């Protein structure tokens, strides 16, 4: 099963090597059904967590998007073997970790690569890893990750852009996070499951992806209580075993398709979702006048041009997700009245705004808020995706804009949405993916 060694990234080139663009025409009302895939933000830490055992782990409903392929490559580079099945299962087995230094090239491509630090440290007693890369949405430090690993007994040093952590034995500790960081909570959880004694993480992140990781670890034999609350208690065990786990649906992909329906005054049914995880997006869309019917097997979103203006403030879960801010902002550009969007989670997450202004939007930035006066229409032009969700926001704006929009640097979008253009086309969107000639 594991006899292939060439991953998709090696076959297709690294992120950004193939220059492509999306060409999008005004698309009319999107109609039909769309199946939401497995959660990117769940599956990345879950793949990292497979490093905690030498046994086989099977992960189901894994979206084959670029960030996942980067994590897969990272695991292979460390000595793991991976294989895909036709039905989107990823099988991972790391009998031996052959090196404790994570690849510089892969780590600088994606911030989530830093999530291998906790597992490698817990399994091998040391890890060397470069400072992470990823979306350019603020400084995004890793101090809370390091604070947690140090509290578990790791000696940490930094030089020339690398972090080196070493611990002959990790020992459970009480760790208070100054901010409920998703990544720090995950890294500390993964290190603590093999530490001696009890770890308590206070002010932990409560995102659904934390609960999914916790369920994955528990199915491997870890002892974790309280995930999904702000206090997580972990009792270390000596060894973890293999497992088979189904990843939760991607709430951000779901939210993005909800906006696709709303912004085109369409009528779209979303399958494979957890309604609870979508509450903030559903509440805001209903406040605007978008019709949402909850069914047993999904939700139906019916847009209408008579939308009311709203205010949004991003917050850690269960507040409004920062990963949905850009997509909502696109919808607000053509919602009559004054809309205010305040970003509190990341310091530099309005890079889609200048691009939306190029399309005719009326937006002013005041510190951490964007003030959006709804205009009657957006107009297609050439725009650039600066990061993953900004790219998604431009796709959505382009569906509703008159004329033709060209979106460049779409590798950002491919990092986090699997088959996005195909799924939108199936709903009636007029999108072409073209190779760029420059």
Which residues are at the interface with ligand UD1 (CB under 6 A)? 41, 44, 111-112, 138, 140-145, 179, 181-184, 209, 322-323, 345-346
Query: Smallest distance, Å, CB 156 to ligand UD1?
Result: 13
Query: Smallest distance, Å, CB 45 to ligand UD1?
Result: 7
Distances in Å between the alpha carbon of 127 and those of 102, 168, 250, 304, 367?
Answer: 8, 12, 30, 53, 38
Closest CA to 13 of 63, 56, 66: 66
Q: 365 pairs with which residues across the strands?
A: 370
CA atoms within 13 A on the CB side of 153: 19
Distances in Å between the alpha carbon of 118 and those of 42, 128, 181, 432?
Answer: 16, 11, 15, 41
Q: Looking at beta carbons only, is 323 or 406 nearer to ligand UD1?
A: 323
Query: Smallest distance, Å, CB 282 to ligand UD1?
Result: 18
Question: DSSP state, 314?
Answer: B
Query: Smallest distance, Å, CB 303 to ligand UD1?
Result: 25
- Evaluate whether 187 touches 149 at the Cβ level (below 8 Å): yes
Tokens representing residue 73 in the block: 């490559």
Rounded CA separation 386/351 (Å): 6
Q: Looking at beta carbons only, is 140 or 245 nearer to ligand UD1?
A: 140
Closest CA to 201 of 221, 178, 177, 222: 177
Closest CA to 335 of 292, 367, 302, 378: 378
Rounded CA separation 245/436 (Å): 39
Rounded CA separation 437/316 (Å): 41
Q: Looking at beta carbons only, is 9 or 146 nearer to ligand UD1?
A: 146
Pairing of strands 291-295, 298-302: antiparallel
Query: Smallest distance, Å, CB 21 to ligand UD1?
Result: 24
Rounded CA separation 245/207 (Å): 18
Tell me, yes or no, if 107 is annotated catalytic. Answer: no
- Cis omega (within 30 of 0) for bond into 318: yes
Query: Smallest distance, Å, CB 195 to ligand UD1?
Result: 19
- Cβ-based neighbours of 225, under 8 Å, separated by 6 or more: 232, 233, 234
For 186-230, give the DSSP string. HHHHHHHTTSBSEEEEES----HHHHHHHHHHHHTT-EEE-BTBS
Q: Looking at beta carbons only, is 30 or 206 nearer to ligand UD1?
A: 206
Query: Smallest distance, Å, CB 42 to ligand UD1?
Result: 8
Q: Looking at beta carbons only, is 143 or 293 nearer to ligand UD1?
A: 143
Q: Looking at beta carbons only, is 188 or 427 nearer to ligand UD1?
A: 188
- Give the active site residue among 57, 124, 135, 438: 135
Phi-psi region of 204 (alpha: psi -120 to 50; beta: other; left: phi over 0): beta
Q: Reduced to 3 states, what is the DSSP secondary structure of residue 174?
A: strand
Q: Looking at beta carbons only, is 27 or 187 nearer to ligand UD1?
A: 187
Nearest position to ligand UD1, beta carbon: 183
Q: Looking at beta carbons only, is 48 or 258 nearer to ligand UD1?
A: 48
Rounded CA separation 377/361 (Å): 8
Rounded CA separation 58/191 (Å): 21
Query: Smallest distance, Å, CB 142 to ligand UD1?
Result: 5
Distances in Å between the alpha carbon of 391 and those of 16, 258, 267, 351, 403?
Answer: 14, 16, 23, 10, 18
Q: Looking at beta carbons only, is 5 or 367 nearer to ligand UD1?
A: 367
Q: What positions carry a catalytic annotation?
A: 135
């Amino acid at each position: 099963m594991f006899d292939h060694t060439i991953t998709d990234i090696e076959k297709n080139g690294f992120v950004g090597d193939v220059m492509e663009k999306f060409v999008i025409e005004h698309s009319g009302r999107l109609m039909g059904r769309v199946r939401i895939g497995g959660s990117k933000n769940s599956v990345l830490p879950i793949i990292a967590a497979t490093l905690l055992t030498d046994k086989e782990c099977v992960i189901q409903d894994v979206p084959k998007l670029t960030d996942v392929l980067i994590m897969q490559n990272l695991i292979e580079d460390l000595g793991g073997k991976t294989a895909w099945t036709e039905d989107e299962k990823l099988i991972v087995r790391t009998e031996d970790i052959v090196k404790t230094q994570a690849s510089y090239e892969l780590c600088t491509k994606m911030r989530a690569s830093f999530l291998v630090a906790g597992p490698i440290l817990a399994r091998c007693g040391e890890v060397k890893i470069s400072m992470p890369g990823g979306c350019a949405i603020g400084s995004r430090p890793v101090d809370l990750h390091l604070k947690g690993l140090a509290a578990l007994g790791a000696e940490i040093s930094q030089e020339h852009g690398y972090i080196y952590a070493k611990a002959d034995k990790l020992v459970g500790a009480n760790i208070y996070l100054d901010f409920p960081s998703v990544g720090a909570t995950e890294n500390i959880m993964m290190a603590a499951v093999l530490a001696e004694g009890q770890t308590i993480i206070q002010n932990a992140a409560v995102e659904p992806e934390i609960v999914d990781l916790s369920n994955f670890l528990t199915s491997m034999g870890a002892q974790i209580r309280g995930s999904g609350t702000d206090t997580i208690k972990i009792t270390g065990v000596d060894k973890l075993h293999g497992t088979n786990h189904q990843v939760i649906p991607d709430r951000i992909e779901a939210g993005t398709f909800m906006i696709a329906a709303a912004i085109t005054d369409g009528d779209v049914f979303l399958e494979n979702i957890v309604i609870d995880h979508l509450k903030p997006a559903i509440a805001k869309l209903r406040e605007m006048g978008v019709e949402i019917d909850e069914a047993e097997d999904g939700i139906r979103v019916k847009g209408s041009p008579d939308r009311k203006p709203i205010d949004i403030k991003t917050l850690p879960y269960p507040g409004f997700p920062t990963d949905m801010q850009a997509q909502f902002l696109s919808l607000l550009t053509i919602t009559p009245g004054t809309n205010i969007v305040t970003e509190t989670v990341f310091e530099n997450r309005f890079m889609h705004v200048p691009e939306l202004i190029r399309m005719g939007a009326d937006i002013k930035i005041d510190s951490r808020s964007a003030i959006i006066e709804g205009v009657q229409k957006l107009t297609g032009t050439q725009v650039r995706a600066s990061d993953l969700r900004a790219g998604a926001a431009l796709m959505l704006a382009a569906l509703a804009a008159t004329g033709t929009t060209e979106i460049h640097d779409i590798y950002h979008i491919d990092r986090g949405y699997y088959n996005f253009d195909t799924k939108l086309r199936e709903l009636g969107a007029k999108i072409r993916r073209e190779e760029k000639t420059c």
